[in-house]
Structures are given as C-alpha cells and as structure tokens.
Chain A
Amino acid sequence: MIAAAASLAAGFLALSLVATGLRGRSWASVFVYGASAVLSLGLLGAGLVALVTGGAATHMTLPVGLPWLGAHLRLDALSAVFAAIIGLGGAAISAYAIGYGRQEHEPHRVLPFYPGFLGAMTMVVLAADAFTFLLSWETMSLLSWALVLTHHREQETRGAGYLYLVMAGFGTMVLLLAFGLMAGADGSYDFAAMRAVEHGPALAALVLGLTAVGAGSKAGLLPLHVWLPVAHPAAPSHVSALMSGVMTKVALYGFIRVAFDLLGPVPWWMSVPVIVTGAVTAVMGILFANVDGDAKRVLAYSTIENIGVIFAALGLALAFRANDMQTLAALALTAGLIHAMNHMLFKSLLFMVAGAVLNATGRHDLDGLGGLIHRMPKTAFLALVGVTAISALPPLNGFVSEWLLFQAILQSPQLSQPGLQFLVPAVGGLLALAAALAAACFVRFYGVIFLGRPRTDVAQEAVETDRWSLSAMAGLALLCGFAGIVPGLLVDLVAPAVERALGSRVPMQAGNHWFTLVPVANVQSSYSGFLVMVFVAISGGLSAWLVHRLASRRLRRAPAWDCGFPNADPVTQYGAGSFAQPIRRVMATVLAARETVTMPPPGDTKPARHTAHTEDLAWTRVYIPLIAFVGAAAARLNALQFLTIRRYLSLVFGSLILLLTGLTIWN
C-alpha cells in the first residue's frame, strides 16, 4: 500500500511540474484540477484500504535525502486516517476547483503550486524519518504560502503572506528542535529508532511542549493563531478550503504522531496545558468568529475553535493514558480523530460556499450580502447542511464527535489526580460554551448571507454557481449527513489507528441495533443518529401532511408585518455587527470590546455615529510588543553592517575565543 501512496504523492509533485509548463493554455485549469481530483481519490482509496484491512504498517526506503538515512516512508493506520482525510478533502476541493478555478484571473499563480501542496501534505503523513517529515512539512508551508499570495497585488494579502511565512518558519524551527531532542546526540532520525528509545519524563515533557507549539502554530492554537484568520481567507477560496479543512489536520497529525507514537508515555501533568490551551482556543476562536464581519474570516476563526476542540480531546487522551486507562484514552482519541474528519467535511463545504458567494457577488463582507437563498437556492441549501453540521446539531456529523468528547469528559472522575478531576468538568463547560457560541456564530453567518433581503445590488443580482462546484458541495453535504447517521462506521474505521496509538480501542460498533453509538460498554450511554433522523423526519413530515390535509393549506403573500413598519429599507435588518452585539457586550472583557457613540449637538443635522471595536488581546499584548522589540533590536544591530574591516576581524576573533573558552569549560 505504501508504494501506491508514495507514487500518488510523487504524481502530485510531477503534476506540479507539468502545470508549470501549461501556462496560458485554456484547458490547463481543468486538466490540473481534474488530475488532482483523480490522484486524491486514489489516495483516499489507499487510506481506506489500509484501514479496512486492519491497518498493518507497510514500509519502504527510498535512496534519496540524507545519504546515511535515505527517505523512510511508512503507511500505518494513523497515517492512513490522515491520508484518507487528505484524499477525500483533496478530491472534493479539486472537483470544486474545476468550476471555481475558471473565475481565477491569474491561474498560473495557483496551478503549479496546488498539486504540489497536496503532494507535500501526503508526504508529511507518509514520512517515517525526521528529515523527510520536516522537509515535506516545510514544502507544504512554502507552497501554501505561495498559494496565499495568489492575489498578491492586494496590500492585505501581502501582509498576510509575510505573517504566515514568519509563523511557518517559526513552527518548523520548533519542530526541528523537538525532533532533534528525540533523536538524541547520535542523531537517529529514523522514526523507528526514536520509538525504540526510552525518553525521560523531563525530556518527554519538553518534546511534547515543543511539538504542541510547532504543530499548534500550523493548526492555529492560541496564542499562535494570529496568522490563520488573515492568511486562510487571503487565498482563493478552494485553497482556503484546503488550508482550513485539510492542512490543519496534517498539523494535528504531526502532534498525534509525536505525542502518541514516537514519544512514549508522558507525565500526566503535561496533559493539563494541552487540555487548557485547547479549551481556551475553542472559546476564543469562536468568540472572534462571532464578532468578525468577513465571511471567510469567520470561517477561519471557526477553524481555530475546532482545532481547540480537537486539542482538548487529544489532551484528555493523554491524561487518560498517563493513568493507564487505555479504553477511555481510546474514546477521547477517537473523538478527536472523528472531529478532525468531520471538520474537514464541513469546513471545506463552508469555504466552498463562501467561494461560490464571492464569485456570485464579488463580496465577502457579510454586510454586503443578504437574501441569497432566493438567488442561489441550491448553494443555500447545501450551506444550511454545512452550518447545521458545524453547529453540532443532531442528526448531523458535528454532533457525533462532540457527543463522544463529552462522554469522555464525563468519565473524568475516574482520573486519579485531583487537579485533573477539577479541571476537566470546567473544560467541559468551556467546550459546551464553544459549541453553543458556534451555533450563534453560524446562525449569524447563514442568516446575514442567505436570509433576509439583499443589502446591495450585487446581492440582488447574484446567480447560482456552476455545476462542478455544486456537485462537490453536494458530495460533502451528503457525507456530513452520512457520517452523522451512521457514526459507528467512522468509529470502527479509525479504530485501527487508535489501537495502533494506544493499544486499545472503543468497542466495536458494527453490531449495534439501529446504528446506535455505545462508546463505553459499562456506562450505557447511547445515541442513535439514524433513529433521531428517522423520528424527526417522520414526525415533521407527518405533522406537515396532517396539517395540510386536515386544517388549512391556504397561503397568501403580504408585506412583512414588522410591528407595523412594513417595507423598511433593507439596511434596517439585523446585520453582522448588530447580530453580534449581545455576545460582544456579554464577553466584552475577553474581546476588549469598545463601543463609541458620537451624537451631534442639538440642532445639528449631522448623523450620529456608533462604532464597535474589538481586538485580539494576543495580538495587542503579545505580538505588537514582540514585533516592536525585534524591530528595535534589528535597528541596533544594523550598526554592525557599517564597520571597518579591522573591527570585523576583531569581532570574529573575539567570538572564536569566546566559543573556545566555552568549549573548554564544557569539557
């Protein structure tokens, strides 16, 4: 299987080279995206076959890379889960791009990088030595950076690209340190060798922390998230979908690979920062999403929330594992993996929706849209599936993973450390808050874009998007429903990966009646998405039929009542800012929200102005001082560029002496 997966990755990279030569051809876009979709489907197939056949690891070594190491590639169950995620996401997004990509003015800025980006992500999950892993990781970062810069003429995009480059470089550097520590002084960069070494608790904690920072900066963990809400939306929408839906999962893979496979056991207290950071990230991410006014940025912030939820699940799995409760650790890890999969499905879908709306109207600010359910009915329906799924509402898939996570949280009293016993319920409260805020956020997102009356002329004249885009979105929407209705299938599918990581798994779900999910055998908490769907469909359909049959089916149209103010101007509708007002006020402290009202003096006819302002405290309190410090230091060091040759020589000599002295003392 690894040979197939590796050749698919090579195929992606080759396609990138071919795409470079296709500049100016009219069919280039269809060819590149079509071929990417086919290769992605192949990757999905390879991942699924590897999982269904029990996830036995297959290994190969290529004679490239470091001469004494070679490139080790390996497809085990964990890689297979993420290969399937990349494959599925890549296939749907490439199919979407066949239609969406036609709108691109400068396709030669996207096409050469797009397949390579997919290939680099595939290589990350296949890599089985630190060198290949980091090389693929950095390739992935750089290619996605190039994709972010597609619309490089816009000032905002350039800023976003720069910030992304800095953060990506920082992340890779930290990961390099983590792998270096694991490899030890002998430098055994092969994953198999790292796995075999017993790491001391202090070292393990350090490596885990570094990995969380390195992978977390790519995934969008607080406070390393600042680049994500500017960089993801700056890219063309299908690339945003790929970055938010798929690349963040690859970052998660990096963390899971190190924390659950390479590192071996870590002390229990190391799970605390992971759980807390995850929960705080979830709440803060969705709060920012609730107050932001840009459609794609709202989605990017919501990605931060979901990454936080997954990290909380992973931290919980670490805590259970440190207490030798492998079954419960398996439950938490399963919740995390399934949420990663679900998030890929609905976040890609929603970015596609945002792209379709952007194409139809040219706008991505929420307040310039409205009423699109009339103009783009199919997109609106698929978007409704997406927002219902992401708001964790039954019977769709988002709820399943949240439910599994809550079941894991409910088992936390079995943990033996009082600290964790107190912490985990509070985290459960935070995650419930995040889930409820997500519902608020997506009512706002959907309501302002699709419902109500159009706020601008472009929204008034929007037309439905193309068939390729629609079918890709429909595919993902169907999968959202399917994964919610038969969640047991997913649990069984990721079970080999969980078993590989923890040596234990959630009980087999395949034999349960009515596709019921029973994650912990002796607790008897159960949920059947299938039955909930059937019951809601039957009772809703039956009541509608009865009412129409027995009571009344007459209907007439009239101006909206609105308490006696019909046909007011569309700007009197609730918009993005006004919908966010209650939450902005309630959470004013953490959002640093300020509202200013300027009233003209009596008798003056100037308009009164109300402005609401929120800021990201991480940015203003951490990053701006940091940037100022780096700038000041650079200005000081700048003087070193203009020295005489004598001074340079004495500097070199001085540092040589210093190093030699240090070495002598060390020895």
Chain B
Amino acid sequence: MELIIGLILQGVQMLVVLALAPGLAGLVRKVKARLMRRRGAPVVQPYRDLMRLMRKDVVLAENASWLFRVSPYMIFAATWVAAALVPTFAIGLQFSWTADLIALVALLGSARFFLALAGMDAGTSFGGLGASREMMIGALAEPAMLLMVFTVALVAGSTQLSNVVTFVASDAVGIRVSMGLALVALIIVALAENARIPVDNPATHLELTMVHEAMVLEYSGRHLAMIELAASLKLLLYMALIGCIFVPWGIAPASAGAGGLALGALSFLAKLAVGGVMLAVFETSIAKMRVFRVPDFLGAALMLGLLGTLLLFVSRSL
C-alpha cells in the first residue's frame, strides 16, 4: 500500500511539473507584457501554442538525420526526469534518491548536449553558431553550479535534495552569508541556463546575438513543441530548485498526510507565482549583454560560489 501511494505521488509530481511548466512561461510573458504597458497574450497562450505545434506537419531540413528527429524526445525526457526529481510539493518521494543534485545537473547537461548536436545536424551556419555559444555558456555555468552545490552540501551535509530540504527547513540553519552567496550564484546560473535576459533573449528571432533560438531554428511542428516544452520544464525546474533549497517552507515532509500535501502544493504554486513575477520584473529592468560579456557575468557566479564555500571553511556558522 505504501509503495502504491509512493508511486502515485511520484506520478503526480511528474504530471504536476509537466502541467504547470507552460503556465509558468505564460505567466512570465504576461507580466513582462504588462510591465511594458502592453496587454500581452493570456497566460494559457503557451498551452495553445503547444497544441497548435503538435498538430502541425514537421518540415524537416533535407540533410537532417535520425539524430535530429530523436533529439527532441531525448531532450524532453532528460529534462522531465530531472524536473521530476526536484522536490516540488513534497520530499522523500519514491524515486527521489535516484539522483542527487550533481546527477541532476548532469542530466540537464545531457539535454544540452543533444540540443547542441541537433543544432549542428542540419548543416546551417545558425545552428552551429547557437551550438558553439551554448556549449561555451554551459562550460562556464556548470562549474559555477557545482560550487553552489558544494556550498549547499557543506551546510546540509548531503547532495541529496530531500536531505537538503529537511535540513534547511529545520531550525538549525538560521541566516547564513554563504547560503546568500550561493543563492545569487544559483540565480545567475539559472538565468544563463534558461536563456533569459541578460544572457540570451527568449523572445528574439533573426538576431546574431541569439543562442538558444539559433539552435532550434530548423525545428518545426511536434519537434519544436517538445523542445519548447522542455525549455519551460527547465525554467520550472530551476524555480523549484531555488524554492526547495532556499525557501523550503511548506514542502510536505516525507510520509505527510493529505493536509500536508495540499499545503505543499499551495506553497509550491505560490513560490512559482512569486518567482515568475520576479523574473519578469528582473528581465524588464535590464538589457541583454553582448555574448562575450557573458563570461564575466558567469565568472561572478563562479566567484560567489567559491566565496560561499570558502566562508564555510572559515567558520561553519557563516
């Protein structure tokens, strides 16, 4: 019985992240539009876009290989599995021990790897441009992410997210400088990984500065839908990650009752909404960087991560 409930909860988590992800993207777009005094598309627009793309024909470049057709599903699957392993409304789910934070980052790395390969497959200059820039950004974001993981693991004593949540939600933590630095580092990494302003512009088309959009330029129809869905899942994943590590309050503990789970779900929704609005405000208030300024931006995250770790060596209570 316990096993069945565990499996159901894990299944619910997978469906919840999948169902909410386009909504989050829609919310961010809506708020951004309102901040620019535009009316903006409704929050449900991404769902409609996905349905529309799903129904359309795929127009495949003449030179595209099987890798190009398989990649969208690989990217989607890797991102979905990663998103399903981040605690959203409850911790200690059936399979939460499958992968720790490092494995989660690597899973997203797999998704990026296949996206970059797919970008190079059609044999166009834009695809290669996007792929090479994406790998450069990834190469700088990953060490920053790992140092952030390091800081968190030093505080919480584990890289397993469920353990981290339990520890941070307990009274033993208090306010720590190192966690603050780690938060800033993680936000910078999240912006870069999700191709948000100031690193990349998710709304851009036909611009030499674009990264993510250049890679997926040749995609259409259901393939594009899977990639867009994966992108919004990734955004949700990072928000859930920031939420569960730094504001874990409300998440239902392992073997919580129905009330605890409902509270967890409500608090997760609230966190997503707040995160989405904050992202929109942030993106509206700054400009996009030149591509070769991005290393400085990510270098800051790297330094903050390292600083957070070093502070902990100076004193475990910082």
Contacts and interface: CB of A to CB of B under 8 A. Distances in A.
Contacts of A409: 150
A393 B58 contact: no
Contact of A436 (B109, B125, B154): B109
Given A422-B313, A451-B123, A579-B131, A429 B146 contact: yes
A583 B80 CA distance: 29
Contact of A579 (B58, B128, B292, B305): B128
Contacts of B313: 413, 418, 421-422, 425
B125 A582 contact: no
Interface string B98-137: 1110110011011011001100111111111101110110
Contacts of A551: 54-55, 222, 225
Contacts of B146: 406, 428-429, 432
A436 B137 CA distance: 10
Interface stretch (A39-47, A56-64, A131-139, A437-445): A437-445
A371 B222 contact: no
B125 A555 contact: no
Nearest to B163: A524
A422 to B, nearest CB: 6
B67 interface: yes
Interface in A537-586: 537, 539-541, 543-544, 547, 551-552, 554-563, 565, 568, 570, 572-575, 578-583, 585-586
Contacts of A393: 106, 109-110, 113
B283 interface: no
A452 B122 contact: yes
Q: Specify which of B66, B117, B123, B125 lies most central, judged by the most chain A CB atoms within 10 Å of its CB.
A: B123
A451 B136 contact: no
B128 A574 contact: yes
Contact of A558 (B62, B66, B84, B225): B62
A532 B107 contact: yes
Given A525-B160, A582-B291, A543 B55 contact: no
A418 B141 CA distance: 27
B100 A527 contact: yes
B78 interface: yes
A23 interface: no
Contacts of B106: 392-394, 399, 403
Contacts of A451: 65, 67, 117, 120-121, 123
B138 interface: yes
A370 interface: yes
A428 to B, nearest CB: 6
B81 A563 contact: no
Contacts of B103: 394, 399, 403, 527, 532
Interface stretch (B1-9, B69-77, B238-246, B262-270): B69-77
B109 A439 contact: yes
B128 A586 contact: no
B173 interface: no
Contact of B81 (A371, A436, A539): A539
A422 B150 CA distance: 12
Contacts of A433: 139-140, 142-143
A151 interface: no
B123 A371 contact: yes
B221 interface: yes
A418 B315 CA distance: 12
Nearest to B220: A561
B290 to A, nearest CB: 12
B73 A452 contact: no
A531 interface: yes
Given A452-B121, A516-B97, A425 B150 contact: yes
A342 interface: no
Contact of B133 (A370, A422, A582): A582
A582 B136 contact: yes
Given A433-B143, A551-B222, A555-B60, A524 B77 contact: no
Nearest to B292: A585
B3 to A, nearest CB: 12
A532 B81 contact: yes
A552 B55 contact: yes
A540 B76 contact: yes
Contacts of A574: 120, 125, 127-129, 131-132
Interface string B58-96: 111111111100000110111011001000000000010
Nearest to B296: A586
B141 to A, nearest CB: 8
What 3 A-B pairs have minimum CB-CB distances, sorted nearest first?
A574-B128, A540-B77, A447-B120
16 contacts: A373-B67, A399-B103, A425-B150, A440-B135, A526-B160, A528-B99, A535-B84, A543-B73, A543-B80, A547-B226, A551-B222, A556-B58, A562-B127, A570-B123, A573-B120, A579-B128
Interface of B: 14, 54-67, 73-74, 76-78, 80-81, 84, 95, 97-100, 102-103, 106-107, 109-110, 112-113, 116-117, 120-129, 131-133, 135-136, 138-143, 145-147, 150, 153-154, 157-160, 163, 206, 217-218, 221-222, 225-226, 291-292, 295, 302, 305-306, 309-310, 312-313
Given A422-B310, A541-B73, A552-B54, 4 more contacts: A394-B99, A557-B60, A583-B136, A586-B292
